[in-house]
Chain A
Amino acid sequence: METQIKLSLAPEGRRLEVIEINLPEDVKTMLSHLGLEVGEVIERTATMPLGDPIALHMGGQVFSLRKEVCEKMKVKVL
């Protein structure tokens, strides 16, 4: 079985399935508008030079999210 890791620790360039989002409901809703929801497949495309934020391909576009937010999500490397 694949292991689940924090999104903030996920490798770049691999397909990731979102398993768990531990954030308040309203934040979850906002993320869903960007295409980030449990069950969706996303990808980490880049990391900013200071290690934070992290750029993610989700819902057909790329958005950067802060590391503190990514730490609250679990993904499975596909």
Chain B
Amino acid sequence: MIEIVLSGRPNSGKSTLFNQLATKNVKVGNYAGCTVEKVTATVYEDGVPAFEISDLPGIYSLEPNTLDEKLAIEHLGSVKGNPIVFVLDGNNLKQELLIPLQLKKQGHQIIIAVNMIDEVRANKKILDLASMTELSGIPFFPISAKTGEGLGSLKKFLAKTSVQKAPHKEDSVDLQTIKSEVKKLTKFVQGDEDRLLARDRKIDSILLHRFFGAPIFLLVIFALFQSVFSWSAPFSDAIESGLGLLGDWISTMGDGLLISFLVDGIIGGLGAVLVFVPQIAMLFFLLGLLEYSGYLPRVAAMVDRFFRPYGLNGKVFIPLLSSVACAVPGIMSTRTIENERTRLIAILISPLMTCSARLPVYTLLIATFVPSKEGGWLSTAGFVMFGMYLVGIIAALAVALILNFFDLGRPRAKLEFIHFPHYRSPNWKELFRYVLSRVNLFLKKAGTIIAAMAIILWALLTFPKMDETILESQKAAIETSESSQEEKEAKLEDLQMHWDGMQLERSYGGRIGKFIAPVFAPIGYDWKLSIGIVASLAAREVFVSTIGTVFSLGEVDESSGGLMKALQEEKAPDGSLAYSIATCVSLLLFFAFSLQCISTIGIAKRETNSWKIPGIMFIYMFALAYGAAFIGYQLTRVLIG
């Protein structure tokens, strides 16, 4: 099947078009450099595969300046003869036509998709594309990738194209000639007013205001995190009660191994993580809103000056913000940073940003140990959560500052600039599909890594089984004793609890936990939390599922109030409460800093072509995590007791 390539300047709408043609869900955002790698998919016409289409990163010229541009230009060079659809912003033909005309002269088969035709109309411009086609010999198609306008005829045309065997190639391509050709073509444009620009400027005068600009930004971010926390709460509660009911119902069917596997392993472990689906959906939805707005690149420019002493620049802002969703796309989006030195620092600090995998852990800990006070829309939990995001940012900046003292052996950029797109409204359908795809990804992770870990841990914590005849004989002794019925029941419950606790401690998992517990004792973890920490090296959410299983197995009465209550009431061997606010502080800090994510290690290896950077990353983050947790734990104990 023929491969058709989408190219164009950054933010011209290539990925939007790609999603429309191939009904896919690649990331779209209203900022330059949203796409950083090639993606290919099949386009169907009347149910049959018609052609393959590739989406590429955007390019400002044919001379690459960043890694993503290099990748795009290399791919264009490798597909000589294949049709290239050059997607451009119809409002800006003078600048946008330079590259496709150059490509044409280099022997490429070019089709021009004049995109954003809806905005061209809003600007009251008239484009005579028929005359442009005639004059240039390149087919021009008016489209709006966002609304779908004109896509039918473009698709039909593309389905009929073929690879050109011996492309006509001119020996030297003189930029001056190209410019004069562009001039001739732009004669067919009527109207040169840019109403959108005038509107942008009004919005900029508020959002980039000398005094209000920074407070507005902080307010936006603060509102974002408060909303993630409060708006999703009812949905999470509903899922939690649903799972609780399901567990109770299954428990009524008996108390064999299978039931324990289902209730403690699957519902206790995996369910503990599923509760966070609404929060994750909310986070991606709100981040998506920001990404579509056009505000982000402006914030990037605003923070540029602020970031410079740290060896960073404004362009680091988008990777860092993406890392709030997940460090993997965050690290990938550092490809758009021209400055290689800055890029390396950005890769090293991205995992310190509070990613969505930390959210379940933080939420559980905060909900369990932080006394809650609600004041309408605000809540203490929301504040602590916001504080955790701040901790991540401050740590990232501090590490950057330290790294900036080293000669990292990477060149600095010659020119740094940031593109300000028009402010735009979100593409709602695409945004919802994007949120769904992220939720899907989370469920997949839950269904694979987290489920596998939950099952393994359930098995580790259940076997070997102690000899139950001892329990039975002790139970019989109580039954036949002289005490009243009430006393007997209390004694039986006590016995069962004691037995379950012993069983848990003597299981393989319990033995492993006890073996490693001394390592974590200085930061306040007993063997149960220690095993959670070790298991969560695979993925942070595993911590929640693991302790979900640990406490579900150790619990007598399944419906006694869930994991939170179990944690609050857990007793240490001496009978005092096992966990306190100090444990909570220690765990929060540990999770804030340590790199417990196989995917991040993998992507850092891929993006830097060596194990060195991920190695450094893992070690420095672990050291930081342990150190901070130690100080946090000891200090809180001294201060609060």
- Using a CB–CB distance below 8 Å, which chain A residues touch chain B? 24, 26-27, 29-31, 33-35, 45-53, 55, 57, 59-66, 69
Contact = CB atoms under 8 A, between A and B. Distances in A.
A47 to B, nearest CB: 8
A45 B201 contact: yes
B301 interface: yes
B414 A60 contact: no
Nearest to B9: A61
Interface string B197-233: 1001100110011110110000000000000000000
Contacts of B449: none
19 contacts: A27-B415, A29-B63, A30-B60, A33-B63, A35-B94, A49-B214, A50-B302, A50-B305, A52-B304, A53-B304, A53-B418, A55-B208, A55-B301, A59-B95, A60-B91, A60-B92, A63-B418, A63-B419, A64-B304
The 9 closest A-B pairs by CB, nearest first: A60-B92, A59-B95, A50-B305, A33-B61, A62-B420, A64-B301, A49-B213, A64-B418, A33-B60
Name the interface size band of chain B. Answer: 35 or more
Nearest to B204: A46
A45 B60 CA distance: 21
Contact of B416 (A35, A49, A55, A66): A66
Interface of B: 60-61, 63, 65, 89, 91-96, 194, 197, 200-201, 204-205, 208-211, 213-214, 301-302, 304-306, 314, 414-420
Contacts of B204: 45-46, 55
A46 B420 CA distance: 11
A78 B224 CA distance: 43
Contacts of A33: 60-61, 63
Nearest to B92: A60
B301 A48 contact: yes
Nearest to B10: A61
Contact of B302 (A24, A34, A48): A48
B180 to A, nearest CB: 14
User: Of residues A27, A35, A53, A57, which shows the largest number of chain B Cβ atoms within 10 Å of its Cβ?
Assistant: A53
B94 A60 contact: yes
B12 to A, nearest CB: 10
Contacts of A64: 301, 304, 314, 417-418, 420
B208 A48 contact: yes
A57 B192 CA distance: 14
B305 A53 contact: yes
Contacts of A60: 89, 91-96, 194
Given A27-B415, A62-B200, A49 B420 contact: no
A59 to B, nearest CB: 4
A52 to B, nearest CB: 5
B125 to A, nearest CB: 11
Contacts of A26: 414
A47 B209 CA distance: 8
Given A24-B414, A55-B301, A57-B197, A63 B420 contact: yes
A53 B60 contact: no
A34 B314 CA distance: 18
A49 to B, nearest CB: 4
Contacts of B205: 46
Contacts of A66: 304, 416
A60 B414 CA distance: 23
Contact of B305 (A24, A29, A52): A52
B318 to A, nearest CB: 14
A52 B208 CA distance: 12
Contact of B95 (A35, A62, A65): A35
